[in-house]
Structure 1
């Protein structure tokens, strides 16, 4: 169960607002755990359980990325408004606005790629990186997703392809076939946890960002991210890194392998009973693994200095 927030609100981001929530004390002697959610176009809700790390004396920061949840919605923004750079700037702005001098990033799914891109820029305040259930390359991931789709029960992928070709991905038949994939490779719990359902409902209520950057589903990526990769930036990550995947994850071992191969200081934990949401599917082991990683990081400096992150807005 998540703890009550000690602070929440919005910070200005240019003419927009970014919603945030803090659990614990940002002046604590341990670097803050800043949680970067997936999507793009999802919300913090499905990761809210991570607020429990505040019980261990570590402040936890959640936020909703621009376009969804409690942050400014822009349903009429042009497609070229939604860029990786926009969300990197938003993260940098949040760190500055909350005066977070030292921090660990935990990025889940798309948030893992965003966090890796941020880390590759070597911000001075970053002390560790957790990449959970994130491919390193969309082109590589799409090849792997095709393999997973081919293993679905007879007729399911044919139904998906038929609606994708026809542009009828909003149909009930497509959604039912999509759920077959999701129940295997996104979350294997029955029923889905309430917070996960809440995040998916947020995407449904305003799909602007998700459909523009990703597409109509997790496995049919036809948006602006379809050619994006962080592989060439991974050697620039200099902080200790924890890589997390699930045995049944839509992020297959091959699509996560570049992190293992190219990040200088990385360790990889595979959750045998999980798909894309080990923090929900194996919560106790997830907590233990992340807690051990956080405990092993260097202590906070005695004279912290502000994080120097790229910020252009």
Structure 2
């Protein structure tokens, strides 16, 4: 599983946007360890705080968003248990509630009084729950390829799996029935699904191997499950559909044309948030910032620039 997931991120180190803006990085003490952060860019514009996916991924694959630092500070963090942050084995720390509190500790340490909050995939779940508890200071929300209902996510996965080759479908269903997620057939089925709906581009095997140390597999499997389309962890019952109406700040939702967060579902989420906007990133799957970074950044910059007016 790790190779499949890490393969999503490998090309980003080749394509990461370079800017001349200065960077500042370090570590912040939180419950359970230290969280790594990096701030790119400077100036008086409202900063953007980025929440990566996973859970247990890292901010590496968000590198194309560094281009936004030409206009404002952009803050990358690796959540506890992955990337350059402290690795953890204590499962009591592997909850969305703990992640919310750790994020608040990061905000306080960085003295963020006004900021935009961006979340991708699992980062939208964390961002949503953080907003519900600590809304003060958040000037706008960006939910990229969001998950606000695990039930809807798994239903969407079933729809997408049904369009895959019959042998792939059978491998997934048989492995799930037997709970044998380490089987070669399940691993190969993951590759087919991920290529279609997670990351459509090709990746360098060398870079893929180099990213091996950044992925927090323990966090991913405990909180989510063995793959993107099989949820077994403590996020299995996650549902914030009713709470979406409580959002009171400008909100943008995005999804890739071939996203596992299916555009139809993301459009539905958008309808539940007062005044929210929705954009589809063409020629992209779940990792929109990797499949189509130019269009992805254009959509984000356009949204942010209108907030300044």
In the alignment, does 2:60 pair up with 1:45? yes
Counterpart contact for 1:37–1:109, Cα < 8 Å? yes
Corresponding residue to 1:109 among 121, 139, 147: 121
**2: CA distance, partners of 1:150 / 1:298:** 44
In the alignment, does 2:177 pair up with 1:158? no
Return closer, same or farther for 1:2/1:197 CA change in 2, 3 Å cut-off.
Answer: farther
Structure 2 portions without partners, runs of 5+: 1-16
Shift of 1:120: 3.2
Corresponding residue to 1:22 among 39, 59, 68: 39
Per-residue CA deviation, residues 8-63 of structure 1 (Å, 9 max, x unaligned), is 111110351111111122xx21111111000001000000121121122x001000
In the alignment, does 2:181 pair up with 1:181? no
Structure 1 portions without partners, runs of 5+: 300-313
SS of the residue corresponding to residue 307 of structure 2 reads coil
Q: Normalising by structure 1, what TM-score?
A: 0.87
Residue number in structure 2 paired with 1:244: 254
Counterpart contact for 1:43–1:199, Cα < 8 Å? no
Moved over 4 A (4+): 192-201
Corresponding residue to 1:221 among 231, 236, 253: 231
Shift of 1:199: 5.8
Per-residue CA deviation, residues 107-154 of structure 1 (Å, 9 max, x unaligned), is 000101211222234622111111000122111111111111111112
SS of the residue corresponding to residue 83 of structure 2 reads coil
Q: Aligned Cα RMSD in Å?
A: 2.1
SS of the residue corresponding to residue 18 of structure 1 reads strand
Return closer, same or farther for 1:131/1:187 CA change in 2, 3 Å cut-off.
Answer: same
**2: CA distance, partners of 1:172 / 1:49:** 33
Alignment of 1:1-313 (within 5 A): 1-3=17-19, 6-25=23-42, 28-56=43-71, 58-75=72-89, 77-78=90-91, 80-121=92-133, 123-191=135-203, 202-203=214-215, 206-298=216-308
